[in-house]
Structure formats: C-alpha cells, structure tokens
Amino acid sequence: MITVQEYLGEKGCEADLAELICLIAEQAGPIRSAFISHQRYATSLNTSGEVQAEMDTWSDTHITTVLAHSGLVSLIASEEQEKVYECRNSTGRYSVVMDPLDGSSLIAVNLAVGTIVGIYEGRSVLRKGNEMKAALYLLYGPMTTLTLSVGSGVALFSQADDGRYLLMEDSITLPEGTIYGSGGERPKWTKKHTSFITALEAEGAKSRYSGSFVADFHQILRYGGLYAYPAAHGKPEGKLRLVFEAQPIGFLAEQAGGRISNGSSDLLDILPEEVHQKTPIYVGSRGIIERLEALPE
C-alpha cells in the first residue's frame, strides 16, 4: 500500500512541505495518547469566550512546540491563542492555521474529534482560503485517519499499527447526498436557513450531527449532503471561525468537487480581516450549496 510519504512524492510535493505535512500527521499518536489523562475543563476561556477543555490547551501547546522547533514554520495561528505565534529565528517558508482539537468536549463520551490544519506559503495567515498550499485534518475515531489535499484532489489515509499512514482512497469526490447536520438553536435560526432545512427534510434528508465539525464534515465528504452552522438571530456572524475551521475544510471540500459558502458567497474568496473572525458556514455537495445561494435573504 502507498504511504503518505510516497503519495506526496508522486504528487510532486516540495520536500519541505511534505516534511511539514508528515510532521503534523505524526502528532496524532501523542494527542490520542493524552485523551485519557486530559479530560477535564481548564479554568481559562479561549479568545471567543468559550470554556477550554484541558485537551484544547494541551494539544495547542504540543503542536505549537513541535512546529516551532521544526524550522519549517514562521507563523502559527491557533484557535486557542489570542495572537499569532511567531517562531523566532525560523526561516521556514510556511505559515500554519489550526484548530488543535475540534470537538474536544466529546472526548469524555468517546465520540470522534479531530485536528484541522491549513498551510500557506509565506509569512501571513490572513489569506484567502484558495491560496492554501495544503489542508488536512486528523480524525480520531475508531481509526485514526488523515484527510489531505495538496491542491490536486483529496486523499484519505489510515494510520496502521506501526504508525505509518496508508492510502485508503485517492481522488475522493464529494457526491450529491441526502444527509445534513446543522448547528445552532432551531428557534434562533434565520428564516432563510429554516426554510431551506425544512425543504431538505421534505425531500427525505436525514439529520446526522455530533457537534464535532471535523467529524460531521467527514461523513458529508464520504456520503454527500450538507453541514451548516448558520447565522442566527442575534449572531449574524455565526459561531465557527473563518481562518481555523472554514478555510481548511472548505479547501478540502472544493478539491473534492464540493463547495463552501456563507449562504451567499464562496468562503474561499473572502480575505479575513482578523484572525478570530467568525462566519456562517455551509459546506457540502455543490448542488445543495448552489440551491442555497440562489434563495433570497
């Protein structure tokens, strides 16, 4: 079977970018091993005012330390850090954006969680998502998997017992599906979002939602459909972050033939104004997203 290193070589991936991707993927082992002893909540809040799980801060510190010492990265923007972390004395060509542990509150009930990463070339993290060099996520479920794009399609790898990532599927295509997941409180949904979800349900769409963005998107990638965390009455900006969550996942969706949108326009075309900027998110099958965007506000 093809390893992730062999895959990246076949794709013509630059050596330092391939090294960075593999280094990030290697952190799945330490992160997963830390689950048992880091299930409490920290006493701190993240930059969005949300209570941090102990694993949020542990995984953030762990990945930041590893990347800072790698010499491959100049800047790191993390959902768990207020400011962009500058890797001093590094001449690395890349800047990394990340959600170190998405869905961390689900660890205590043994549901799937993940790590989301986007990689840009150059010393800047406030970039359009379509400028990424690579995007990936690690999913910690019954298997540990790596979903990856270096701009030439999407590939899925599974971690073997010896730590190697072996190719399970290449050139993944996101189909037109019939499942959906939507966050937020239904009574607070906007009229447009409510009517659209109601229409999907009337057509037979089934709800599948765990509360882990990366896990919920993964099933959309495999089966098709829609993941949404919409704007709400009183929260027009939604909940999820453009830089750390929307853009890396959106890059992967587009590479698989899908789309990501804020309900009216492509999120990969938006230049972030600040690191922790929030946005409504709709990601999934291209046809479903195009139907949504055609609806009046």
pLDDT, tens only, 238-262:
999 999 999 999 999 999 999 999 9
Task: Say what the pTM is.
Answer: 0.94
Tell me how long the chain is: 297
In this predicted structure, the answer to whether residue 49 has a pLDDT above a threshold of 60 is no
> CATH second-level architecture of 179-293?
3-Layer(aba) Sandwich (3.40)
Domain ranges of the chain: 4-169, 179-293
In this predicted structure, the answer to whether residue 47 has a pLDDT above a threshold of 80 is no
Q: What is the pLDDT of residues 22-44, one digit of tens each?
A: 999 999 999 999 998 876 654 44
Give the CB-side neighbour count of residue 263, counting CA atoms within 13 A: 23
pLDDT of residue 296: 87
Inter-axis angle of helices 213-223 and 247-255, to 10 degrees?
10
Q: Give how far Cα 268 sits from Cα of 99, 131, 146, 226, 250, Å.
A: 17, 8, 22, 17, 7
Q: Which CATH superfamily is domain 4-169 in?
A: Fructose-1,6-Bisphosphatase, subunit A, domain 1 (3.30.540.10)
pLDDT band at 54 (very low <50, low <70, confident <90, very high): confident
**Backbone φ/ψ region at 257: left (φ over 0), alpha (ψ -120 to 50), beta:** left
Q: What is the pLDDT of residues 114-153, one digit of tens each?
A: 999 999 999 999 999 999 999 999 999 999 999 999 999 9
